Chain A
Amino acid sequence: MSLYYVQKLLYQINRDEYALNRFQTDFDSFLTEYDLESDEINALRQADIGLLYVMGVNGQILMHFAAMSGYEWNEYLDAMRQGLNEHGPVRAGLYATVWS
């Protein structure tokens, strides 16, 4: 799992129109520039907000991708809840941090 690169890709398309255009029109080529695994690529392709949240994508990054993918605010929150129900707890990142 390469959470860092999933988040980096989303960070870049959230802030850069050129990157967003490539994501939307040249998806396969664009994603070769990131070290992603097949389940991550599928989640991004399908804008699977629930799975991306469970993978550990920070909500401050994810909420903008959700909005650009057509999720209304409550739909966005429900998608994350559904992801937890379907896939279990968040696997990595801030929300899975084990504090010591």
Chain B
Amino acid sequence: MSPAATTRLPEIIRRREQDLLERWMKEQLSAVSQRRELLSESQLREQSREFLDLVAQAAAKTSLSSIDAPAWQPVRDMLGDLSRSRAIQGFTTSETATFVFSLKQPLFDLLRQEYDGQAAALTEELWAASATLDRLGLYTTEVYQEGREAVILRQQQEMLELSTPVVKLWDGVLALPMIGTLDSVRTQVVMESLLQRIVETGAEVAIIDITGVPTVDTLVAQHLLKTITAARLMGAECIISGIRPQIAATIVHLGVDLSAVITKATLADAFQVALGRVGLTVQRTPPRG
């Protein structure tokens, strides 16, 4: 790559900044995908001007090719903030990356004017500018992706916390209403919280209600059996309730042996069994009055 001295880009950007900004703005606003309702024109103009400034400063200090260099840190920070905020606002990846890529057309036009008649120098300058903009564009995509992944991760954790309540139905009777698909991580959390609550409350019976579980495969069945066995080792009994007909068929077809486990159709039936285990009965009393 050519050393920093040979590129005239910073100087050109500074000299023709207003011109470049106008053309770039026109380019960005004409892009059909640009979302006016999410980002006002003045905001966009401010962002664009800041970006041009920072690029000119960075390119003046070091070569164009090294966007990982410390001199480019302000540019990276600015693009990072921009990508993150756009990811949260709901822009798509390509809309975010367009911010950088749309600069190509006006910048190249400008360079062509400046290097009129010097084909070799023009090619070199174009190549350097193009490579830099590509890298910056990819950088925005990366940051955007990271932002999105962070959102997904947070939602997953929130769901994990929401979806595993262990409720006390009676003295010595716990219930665990499971909702949603069970995977290894969730089952692990469910298992630990159930066993922990058994120790805390001294419950003798725990009802695992799987009415809200859409499918049961061998792995899920195995996890359930493990939870039940662990509870038994601690001295508590588990009852499974809410098995739907399709799931019953699946369990039998998969060859999962649930014969050692008490299974009941509904949570009410299971609760009745649990009350029997702790020595209680439910009795109807004549209405008062």
Query: Are chains A and B native binding partners rather than an unrelated pairing?
Result: no
**A interface vs B, CB < 8 Å?**
none
**B interface vs A, CB < 8 Å?**
none
